[in-house]
Structure 1
């Protein structure tokens, strides 16, 4: 993919981005270590951050004053093989402050050491903890959204499917940034030639293969392992999905958005021209990223605190 296809604001950062050797054990270990070494960064004024020793580990972001009684469960990205909740500290803290909501960011066990269902089980355990702890956090258990980025958004989409089938309290919304939804994309060798920026199909195949424990794109996958494989999407919570038009996931995200609408689910799809994968995370100070984040938080805030948040 030519650099000229990338939005001019993002080109310099894209050109500097190294290729991640995720197909090698040492490469994954190096990237994981760098995430931990980088740490949480500067504190965000007006937000308290606490670690919660539960399951794979949670981070709790509480706006000063306790928040408005609603919450977001957030799931970090990393292709199922890298990443840590700490990488989204600034994003989660700013979201907590701007929307006056409690944010719980969950870690999860990573593949290939821990293939499916480990990551989803950890995410589901975080959802259960948030439901059980809602009273002590001052949160209404019926006004909690689920969100994530990339593989984390894929996990979030699978989580709402699992929670739907379990019953009881349901998420009020699903908030998905460039979600990794369909392993069949990784099986398309024709996409290898495109060489998508930031996250290409070779890396995609590594991630899905590690998570599923075998070659992606097979005829069947376990329930809740691949969000796009679910046939019946009726009854799922309203969704907001963003993706860049030059992102590897653009087609699968468009398709899933349309399938949600066809199933009667309110879904907003925000396609950003010239945006590679995850740009709002690695170039948050650009105008194109600020615009996306503003639109996304406006949608989530309306879903969490407006009259449309009642799911019945």
Structure 2
């Protein structure tokens, strides 16, 4: 993959001034230096992948067990038809009997970075103990080494295996939520579509945190935040081009590659979608929530004022980050509580 990402998606919308950052978030971003907003390009991709791998060291299974508070295992399960296995990192609060609900989670990283281990400490501390929730994090293969459909098929194969081995894992198959952040949020949305259409394991909810949904990359917000957001339209195009290769921007691209392309969003599990008002992906996230509502589905949408992409990871102690974390927790608790009286989404 060489050369700068190309324009996709038709005429360029007229963009006004960018929305301002939340003052507290803006100070943290400024203190983090220019590197936090350095655009990702095909030319610097390999170097950025190496830098990211060094910056996100993988905690060991022993580390994740946190002195016995969690039961943690690494599982290698059969993959998709290309014969590649999938690694799942399974964690649950220790000492809780009976099958637990599951958050089946895909990490972020623009489809090109990140790993299944580094996201687990936050997921476990935020939700596993308080909600008595098991978490499985998916080590899907990354682009450009593995292009579509490899990553989403990894996620689907892992979910099918988990549902088939629920008794061994202590998982309640009637209480599975798929979720993810950024690229992982896009994969979670694709997974909800894929399980619906293949009649696979039926999740009761989809937790989509600033999801990467649409390869066309031509919304007004993508132009407003060019060169400003931590994940701007140049970086976004680079990630999509790495994932899709020659399919990038194709008119007939599958919604399992880019869920923003989906024409049928009916019969999906309830969605939680959150995004910042000052981020590249704002408009495609808002459009996805609207499309779910128009299809007769359920979606809870939060647009955090003045938030940039990944704000809660860069500034976890900021007031807005804490508000976002609380809202996600409330939604998860409500979905899990409602599932006690329901068998899952309608088919």
2:305 is aligned with 1:305? no
1:154/1:226 contact within 8 Å kept: yes
Higher RCO structure, 1 or 2 (CA under 8 Å, sep 6+): 2
1:14 is aligned to: 29
2:284 is aligned to: 252
How far apart are 1:35 and its partner, in Å?
A: 4.1
1:241/1:270 contact within 8 Å kept: yes
CA–CA distance in 1 between the matches of 2:246 and 2:206?
28
2:113 is aligned to: 82
1:53 is aligned to: 76
1:221/1:229 contact within 8 Å kept: yes
How far apart are 1:10 and its partner, in Å?
A: 1.4
1:70 is aligned to: 101
- More divergent stretch after superposition (18-27 vs 99-108): 18-27
Greater fraction of residues in helix: 1
- More divergent stretch after superposition (270-279 vs 33-42): 33-42
1:152 is aligned to: 184
- More divergent stretch after superposition (217-226 vs 236-245): 217-226
Q: Write the deviation string for residues 92-135 of structure 1: whole angstroms up to 9, x where unpaired.
A: 21221121110000011111111101100111111112101211
How far apart are 1:191 and its partner, in Å?
A: 1.6
Q: Number of aligned pairs?
A: 312
How far apart are 1:137 and its partner, in Å?
A: 2.0
Query: Which 5+ residue runs of structure 2 have no aligned equivalent?
Result: 1-15, 78-84
2:81 is aligned to: none
Query: Which 5+ residue runs of structure 1 have no aligned equivalent?
Result: none
Q: TM-score, normalised by structure 1?
A: 0.91
Q: TM-score, normalised by structure 2?
A: 0.82
Secondary structure (helix, strand or coil) at the match of 2:72 reads strand
How far apart are 1:290 and its partner, in Å?
A: 1.3
Q: How does 1:192-231 map to 2 (within 5 A)?
A: 194-214=226-246, 216-231=248-263
1:186/1:204 contact within 8 Å kept: no
- More divergent stretch after superposition (191-200 vs 263-272): 191-200
Among 164, 167, 170, which residue is 1:135 paired with? 167
2:318 is aligned to: 286
Structure whose alpha-carbon radius of gyration is higher: 2
Q: Write the deviation string for residues 196-254 of structure 1: whole angstroms up to 9, x where unpaired.
A: 32100000010001111137433221341110111011101100000000110100000
Task: Indicate the RMSD between aligned Cα atoms, in angstroms.
Answer: 2.6
